[in-house]
């Protein structure tokens, strides 16, 4: 079928065969917008979808000015005709969308070893436990000295002596004294 015959079709139609020259190719999100020309006329904006046919060439590999065979759809859209379809075949270019043989891919690099020191991971666990205790209200952190107390706990794992822990002090004592004595607490006596 020629472009002039396609333009004369009065209704929507699918699978219209057309052999035409590709005058321009512009990439589009769903394929390419092309201008097609034959001896009878020009179709200025035709959306050529990325091909679903394995034997069809990719428009990325087709030079402008090449003759191609298309399967088009003509459809009325917003009072105008819309043309789209697929590139079926290009003279002299066959099966360019199929994978081409290449050199073997290099072996993947081994996964990097986990270089984190156990003390880093332990500190992260302490930090998350302290945050959870403070956020849930099970532990107090109401002044700058409390922050220093929790910092000591997170960084070293040492607990302030039980009698100076924020949980065991009145609000006034916390404001006046804070908790700055990093004396370790025996295991199993975590202050929260």
DSSP state of 12: -
pTM for the model stands at 0.45
Which residue, among 53, 13, 16, 18, has the nearest Cα to 37 in the 3D structure? Answer: 18
**What's the CATH code of the domain at 32?**
2.40.50.140
CB within 8 Å of 113: residues ≥ 6 apart: none
**Domain assignment of residue 155, yes or no:** yes
Count of domains for the chain: 2
**Domain assignment of residue 104, yes or no:** no
Based on the fold, state whether residues 86 and 8 are members of the same structural domain. Answer: yes
**Domain assignment of residue 124, yes or no:** yes
Q: What is the mean pLDDT of the chain?
A: 74
Q: How does strand 80-90 pair with strand 67-77?
A: antiparallel
Based on the fold, state whether residues 122 and 86 are members of the same structural domain. Answer: no
Confidence band for 181, pLDDT divided at 50, 70 and 90: very low
Give the range of the structural domain holding residue 123, as residue numbers without chain letter.
Answer: 118-176
Q: How many CA atoms lie within 13 A of 108 on its CB side?
A: 3
pLDDT at 190: 59
pLDDT at 81 over 60: yes
């Amino acid at each position: 079928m020629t472009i002039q015959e396609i333009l004369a079709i009065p209704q929507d139609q699918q699978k219209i065969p057309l052999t035409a020259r590709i005058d321009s190719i512009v990439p589009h999100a769903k394929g390419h917008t092309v201008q097609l020309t034959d001896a009878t006329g020009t179709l200025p904006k035709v959306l050529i979808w990325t091909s679903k046919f394995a034997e069809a060439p990719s428009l990325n590999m087709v030079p402008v000015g090449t003759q191609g065979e298309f399967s088009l759809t003509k459809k009325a859209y917003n009072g105008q005709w819309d043309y789209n379809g697929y590139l079926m075949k290009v003279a002299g270019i066959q099966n360019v969308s199929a994978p081409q043989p290449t050199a073997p891919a290099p072996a993947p690099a081994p996964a990097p070893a986990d270089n984190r020191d156990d003390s880093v991971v332990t500190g992260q666990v302490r930090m998350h436990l302290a945050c959870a205790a403070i956020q849930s209200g099970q532990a107090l952190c109401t002044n700058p000295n409390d922050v220093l107390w929790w910092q000591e706990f997170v960084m070293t794992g040492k607990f302030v002596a039980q009698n100076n822990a924020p949980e065991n002090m009145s609000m006034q004592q916390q404001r006046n004294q804070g908790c700055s004595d990093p004396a370790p607490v025996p295991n199993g006596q975590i202050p929260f």
